[in-house]
Amino acid sequence: MWSFVFRRFLVAVPTLLLISVLIFGVIQLQPGGFLENMLDDPRVSRETVETIRKQYGLDQPVWVQYLDWLGGFVRGDLGYSFLNNRPVSGLVGERLGWTVFLALLTILTTWVVAVPLGIYTALRRHGLGATVANLIGYFGLATPDFLVALLLIFAVLSTGGTNVGGLFSPQYIDAPWSWAKFKDMLAHLWIPLIVIGLDGTASIMRQMRANMLDVLTQDYIRTARSKGLAERVVLWKHAVRNAINPLISIAGLSLPNLISSTIIASIVLNLPTIGPFLYDSLLNKDQYVVMALLMMSAILLMIGNLLADLALAWADPRIRYE
Amino acid sequence: MSSAPAPRLERNSPLHLAWRRFLKNRPGVVSTGVLLLLYLVALFAGFLAPYNLTTQHPDAVYQPPQRVHIFRDGRLVRPFVYRLEKKRDPVTFIASYQEDQTRPTPIRFFVRQGEPYRFLGFRTNLHLFGVDEGYFFPLGTDQFGRDLLSRILVGSQVSLTVGVIGVAISFAIGILLGGISGYFGGWMDTLIQRTTEVLLSIPRLPILMALSTVIPASWPSTYVYLGIIAVLSFIGWAGLARVVRGQVLAAREVDYVTAARAIGAPNLRIILRHITPNLTSYLIVTATLALPGYIIGESALSFLGLGIKEPMASWGLLLKDAQNFQALSLYPWLLTPGILIFISVLAYNFFGDALRDAADVRSVD
Amino acid sequence: MTTRKALWLLSLVTMGALASAQPKVVSGYENGKPGGTLTMALSSAPQTLFYYGAIDSAIQTLANQMFDGLIEYNYKTYQIEPALAASWTITGGSKVYTFKLRKGVKWSDGRDLTADDVVFTYTQIVANPEAKGGDAGNFAGVKIEKVDAGTVRFTLPKPAPAFIHYMRLPIMPKHKLLPFSQEGGKKPGEINNAWPTNVDPAEVVGTGPYRLQSYTAGQKVTLVKNPNYWKRDADGNSLPYLDRLEYLIIPDSQAQVAQFLAGNLGQLNITGTDFPTLKQREVQGAPIRVVAFRALFGSPPHLAFNYDDKNPELAALFRQTEFRRAIQSAINRKRIIDDVYNGLAELPGNGVAPVSEWYYDTTRLLGSYDLAAASAALDKLGLKRGPDGVRLLPSGKPLEFTLTYGSNSSTFSAIATILQNDLKAIGVKANLQGILAANLLSTGRGKDWDAIVLGLGDQPDPELRTPIWKPGGDLYYWHQSTQPATPGGPPQFNNFFPWEKEIYDLWEKAASTTNFTQRKALYDRWQAIFAREAMVIMIAKAYAVGAVSTKYGNYLYSLGVIPGYNPVAIMYQK
């Protein structure tokens, strides 16, 4: 297995290189950028813009800029944010904590809720509980997340609530941790969890239900039942384990969502994640920030894929990697 | 069909059995009806819509849905509406409308009025219904006094086709490449896997943002939009290809596939006859889940100002008008496109479920 | 020196300082009571905490609270008033500006403000061409020198009447920023690295009413009262009243409205679009007040046509004043004001806000909405209608062009939609092309557009907007063939229209005229030509709309980003 992992690492290098070229190219395609936008201010003259362009090496050919970036990246230097006059690593670091927290919490909640619900709705296909769960699932799939966010906020406002976005009430944002701050966070956390997680929960639930129904009609389940195994054993050892298999690939893919999938929800709900930061940087063409974030997302994906493959091999003995 | 005595063989053919199972699934049948209706409506949108989708009525901005009356002075009469009087609150500037009970206007059917539209190559201005004087806005109007019903109808042409085109493209590529990748393995697998990884690791938003600014200004919005769908589905196939690969990887180790290979069956035949059927139910569920994903994806793009643009309409673009507290509290009828998104997504899901159950040979009811 | 003697000396010095301190008294407002907190919103996270390190609205808003310029604007009349400079004289043929600094002004860390700080700010930062937020262009050739500890002198190469406005730029502490400057031995570009967002808040020292307490990345900035502030209210109480200002970083405007309605924000600047809902709540008794003011600042939208369009036929058409005036008659300004701004806008000025002292009444020249007249004017230009109602160009091709607008701005997209509808009525086909509002200006400055809806900011003195309105300027984007062929070179006069040459001469003359009346006459003439030629078609000037909790008194609308205009210092919590 270790040789497999090692080989994957070797392959990852050219892939990442290709990704970085592509992303860099896509960023360059965009017109505009922060330099152009500066001119709207009465203080800034064409000359100043040109001086700054030189200062940042943006007057160099694109490939020179790329190689410069690559050289730094290999040495662990993520580059410099033009907008913030600061190294990218510090900027990302400041925002990483909440992003990872929210994303992991959402993924966890999603799976903890979705997989059992999927199994349940598969087993009780026509029961009342299953119908309700399905309806909620459909609602999650059928409503854009920003609309869910807006409707939730509107509902909270209409009932006189004050927790309408963000993770904390204003006074707790820069306060040290305390029991009150924790409670305040919990009071805010449910909206983002629903908004970000609903869609994923619904889709995983439905996948799980479909897989479960598939597996339950397979011969080996019948065989297991006829062998006289306890229904519990048949269900959990045979059915669920096989049904969950295709979901593992999906799980691997959800890792990079840590960075990019919550952009819209984060803007509407005013969450302190990396999403809006990436969006701003993209709009302003702050290229090394964008590069750093998208490369992080790419690396996360590779790790996710590798983990998914390993998990798949572990979960399904029929798959072999030689 | 079932009344005529069909040959016994056909009666018990898998397809026929599946059809019978499908008919037994009531939500599935209802959803099929709903979907057929939606697509028919989209096809005849120009005829059903009382107004042109871009016609503005500056004297009827944010007009609420108009009530249809059938009683006048206690007597049953042909359906009519009252003309509405617009008032603007001098303090809040909120427009409000009041029925002018002295001026009823009957609704007429099959009227020839308004701007012509094209249908199957014909130019006509025949509309299902309309009024002679004043306006009739069954679902109200937007900020410019454009008829919401007409916009929803014409917008459905975009919204209902987006998913189909998008899914078709991404499935064709995804199944083919995923299948090849999982079945053959080796360098082909590596190549396809790397390609999917490259594609998957570039988040969609930056690509779309970049493309939306690069697309030539002279392109009509239809092309721009189709371009964006194409990009979405070209990225979308990668995820599917991975999952298909995982399934094929498992399926190729199954006994009957190993057996087929042992007797030297051609590869394509094995993929199509032995492996693909195994994946059918999974693919159907994925397709029904992916279809609404495109409808919703389009609305997300509209939210960022990157999706379909004026003067075209789509449900996502229409819903954008409802995305502020103003609309939620004062003009709630603007949420109607959201309800239609909901209905169509729901119908697709039930339809997919019913298909899945029907296609499942071993299902025990 | 014994301790006692030192103490005695110290108290003597302090008394002396107090005796000679010159606090500025702000009168004409309610006297508030000290204490309280005001929470406001920032639409983006600050990119830096150094005002001159970026062109960034967040730091401009924050810097207004933390720093002062030599002059400032009156809260009500927008007239120039003394700030850190207590007085000044203009001599030597309007070329020598001598500023006497206000006595007793202290930095928030207790150091005295001196002429060294002012000279440092202007020579090392403002005039530094590599400072991203500097203003080197306007300080080329200006000699800046310290006369004594309390006096600074600026000597200009030629008279510049708007120069006094540049004195609103915030003065920075030399004792904190010297290590980043050329004087401190660094490269010129190094100055941008001062005070990044992760700086120790104690380093960010200013003279403003508030000082930085903390910044939580991407979420919140907290400022606390500067006890050394130099303003007093009419009763002699020290300003500001409020103890703390908190800025929540909330990018989405609807999220801002939600936070305001939930009571988490004390004050919010909104647009006419959000006015009805908020006003309705006020009418229904919510503890808020929504107010609209005629605005001096802000960016009124205009419709511009590309005189140098890539399509020569269109370019020829767009260059014709008759064409632009015909289009102007098809613009329903009243409807736009009513439906887009909910009535909270007025007819626009031409390059000058109607509320400004420089405004020349061009209302009559703006024409009125008259589709028949517009059609007739186009007929007269020989643009006959084709079979589908769209007019035909001389070549027989339909009169069709793209109309670029910011698709993520509800105001601009609404205006574009209305324009397109009215243009269609007169047989002109405009294809809408929505792009991100952030890219509008760079698109306009490129070559790939036909018509565009764009807004450029108004300023208190037309002179400050020279690059926009003077033909050949950097932002004179609708006629780019007038711009210098080489950067820094002269404009291409051969491409000027006669009226552009006239405008150019007016601006040249105004730039060295110091008498207000004479300058005003020159700018009046320019505005009249601007309107007569419909150089670009001004659409509307929005009111400034603000919402504030009734908890607060002395609320005046503030855009936040205009240096030298900061009425927050007089707000108080009831």
CB contact under 8 A, A154 and B325: yes
Asked if C103 and C21 touch (Cβ cutoff 8 Å), the reply is yes
Q: Which residues of A touch C254 (CB under 8 A)?
A: 150, 268
Asked if C174 and C76 touch (Cβ cutoff 8 Å), the reply is no
pLDDT at C224 (0 to 100): 93
Q: Is the ipTM of this complex over 0.95?
A: no
Residues C63-109: pLDDT tens digits? Answer: 999 999 999 988 888 888 998 898 899 888 888 999 998 888 889 88
> Is C55 touching A (CB cutoff 8 A)?
yes
Using N-to-C axis directions, what is the helix angle for B204-214 and A2-29, rounded to 10°?
A: 30
CB contact under 8 A, C404 and B54: no
Confidence category of residue A32, pLDDT binned at 50, 70, 90:
low
pLDDT at A19 (0 to 100): 83
Query: CB-CB: which of A40, A84, A169 is closest to C47?
Result: A84
Q: Taking 80 as the threshold, does the pLDDT of residue C124 lie above it? A: yes
> Is B35 touching C (CB cutoff 8 A)?
no
What is the helix (H) or strand (E) element at residue B31, kind and residue range? helix B26-43
Q: Which residues of C touch A146 (CB under 8 A)?
A: none
> Is A225 touching C (CB cutoff 8 A)?
no
Which range of A144-158, C38-52, C126-140, C439-453 scores highest in mean pLDDT? It is C38-52
Distance from CA of B173 to the nearest CA of C (A): 31
pLDDT at C319 (0 to 100): 92
Average pLDDT over residues C541-569: 84
CB contact under 8 A, B281 and A263: no
> Is A162 touching C (CB cutoff 8 A)?
yes
C-alpha distance from residue B140 to each of B343, C277, C433 (Å): 20, 19, 27
pLDDT at A259 (0 to 100): 62
Confidence category of residue A322, pLDDT binned at 50, 70, 90:
very low
Residue of A nearest to B213 (CA): A30
**Window from A220-234, B279-293, C285-299, C319-333 with minimum mean pLDDT:** B279-293
CB contact under 8 A, C255 and A268: yes
Mutate to test the interface with B, among A147, A207, A268, A281 (most CBs of B within 10 A): A147
Asked if B58 and B166 touch (Cβ cutoff 8 Å), the reply is no
**What is the pTM for the complete model shown?**
0.83
Nearest to B278 by CA among B197, B183, B348: B183
Residue of C nearest to B309 (CA): C434
Q: For chain A, which chains pass the contact test of at least 3 CB pairs under 8 Å?
A: B, C
Query: DSSP label at C137?
Result: G
Spatial separation of the C-alpha atoms in residues C279 and C289, rounded to whole Å: 8
> Is B123 touching C (CB cutoff 8 A)?
no
Confidence category of residue B59, pLDDT binned at 50, 70, 90:
confident
Count of helix runs (H) and strand runs (E) in chain B: 14, 4
Residues B291-338: pLDDT tens digits? Answer: 777 777 777 777 666 677 777 788 888 888 887 788 888 888 998 888
pLDDT at B364 (0 to 100): 41
Q: Taking 80 as the threshold, does the pLDDT of residue B363 lie above it? A: no
Sheet with C267-270, side-by-side order of all strands: C267-270, C544-549, C288-293
Q: Which residues of B touch C423 (CB under 8 A)?
A: none
Q: Taking 90 as the threshold, does the pLDDT of residue C540 lie above it? A: yes
Q: Which residues of A touch B364 (CB under 8 A)?
A: 217
Residue with tokens 């009535």: C343
pLDDT at C209 (0 to 100): 92
Q: Taking 70 as the threshold, does the pLDDT of residue C42 lie above it? A: yes
> Is A29 touching C (CB cutoff 8 A)?
no
Query: CB-CB: which of A39, A85, A283 is closest to C192?
Result: A85
Query: CB-CB: which of C274, C414, C436 is closest to B143?
Result: C414
Average pLDDT over residues C187-210: 89
Query: CB-CB: which of B143, B213, B329 is closest to C277?
Result: B329
CB contact under 8 A, C258 and A157: yes
Residue of C nearest to B214 (CA): C435
% helix, strand, coil for chain C, step of 5: 35, 20, 45
CB contact under 8 A, C438 and A283: yes
Q: Taking 80 as the threshold, does the pLDDT of residue A314 lie above it? A: no
Q: Which residues of A touch C252 (CB under 8 A)?
A: 267-268, 270
Average pLDDT over residues B223-236: 73
Contacts of A126 (CB under 8 A, 6+ apart): none
Asked if C247 and C221 touch (Cβ cutoff 8 Å), the reply is yes
- At C495, phi and psi to the nearest 5? -95, 0
Q: Which residue has the higher pLDDT, A80 or C171?
A: C171
Beta-carbon contacts below 8 Å between A and B: 156
pLDDT at B218 (0 to 100): 56
Q: Which residues of C touch A169 (CB under 8 A)?
A: 264
Residues C225-241: pLDDT tens digits? Answer: 998 898 888 888 888 89
Q: Which residues of B touch A15 (CB under 8 A)?
A: 194, 197-198
Q: Taking 60 as the threshold, does the pLDDT of residue C13 lie above it? A: no
Residues C301-348: pLDDT tens digits? Answer: 999 999 999 889 999 999 999 999 999 999 999 999 988 888 889 999
> Is C484 touching A (CB cutoff 8 A)?
no
DSSP C297-316: SS--EEEEE-TT-SSHHHHH
- At B181, phi and psi to the nearest 5? -60, -45
Residues B175-193: pLDDT tens digits? Answer: 888 888 877 777 888 888 8
CB contact under 8 A, A39 and C250: no
Q: Taking 60 as the threshold, does the pLDDT of residue C160 lie above it? A: yes
Distance from CA of A26 to the nearest CA of B (A): 6
Distance from CA of A76 to the nearest CA of C (A): 21
**Window from A61-75, A108-122, B140-154, C4-18 with minimum mean pLDDT:** C4-18
Distance from CA of B124 to the nearest CA of C (A): 14
Whole-number average pLDDT of chain A: 80
Spatial separation of the C-alpha atoms in residues B134 and A201, rounded to whole Å: 48
Beta-carbon contacts below 8 Å between B and C: 94
Exposed e or buried b for every residue in C334-352, given b needs 16+ CB within 10 A?
A: ebbbbbbbbbbbbbbbbbb
Asked if A87 and A81 touch (Cβ cutoff 8 Å), the reply is yes
Mutate to test the interface with C, among B61, B93, B318, B331 (most CBs of C within 10 A): B93
Mutate to test the interface with A, among C40, C43, C44, C47 (most CBs of A within 10 A): C47
Q: Which residues of B touch A141 (CB under 8 A)?
A: 289, 292, 296, 345, 349
Distance from CA of C402 to the nearest CA of B (A): 7
**Window from A88-92, A253-257, B326-330 with minimum mean pLDDT:** A253-257
**Window from A260-274, B61-75, C390-404, C486-500 with minimum mean pLDDT:** A260-274
pLDDT at B205 (0 to 100): 65
Which range of A2-16, B259-273, C71-85, C427-441 scores highest in mean pLDDT? It is C71-85
> Is A55 touching C (CB cutoff 8 A)?
yes
Residues B93-148: pLDDT tens digits? Answer: 888 888 888 878 888 888 887 777 777 777 777 888 888 777 888 888 888 888 89
pLDDT at C564 (0 to 100): 82
CB contact under 8 A, C442 and A32: yes
Confidence category of residue A257, pLDDT binned at 50, 70, 90:
low
> Is C561 touching A (CB cutoff 8 A)?
no
CB contact under 8 A, C283 and B309: no
Query: CB-CB: which of B54, B92, B309 is closest to C280?
Result: B92
Nearest to C282 by CA among C546, C18, C572: C546
CB contact under 8 A, C273 and B326: yes
CB contact under 8 A, A138 and B345: yes
Query: CB-CB: which of A27, A217, A318 is closest to B364?
Result: A217
Whole-number average pLDDT of chain C: 87
Distance from CA of A241 to the nearest CA of C (A): 42
Nearest to B268 by CA among B176, B192, B185: B176
pLDDT at B221 (0 to 100): 66
Distance from CA of C523 to the nearest CA of A (A): 18
Residues B133-160: pLDDT tens digits? Answer: 778 888 888 888 888 999 999 888 888 8
- At B104, phi and psi to the nearest 5? -75, 145
pLDDT at C506 (0 to 100): 92
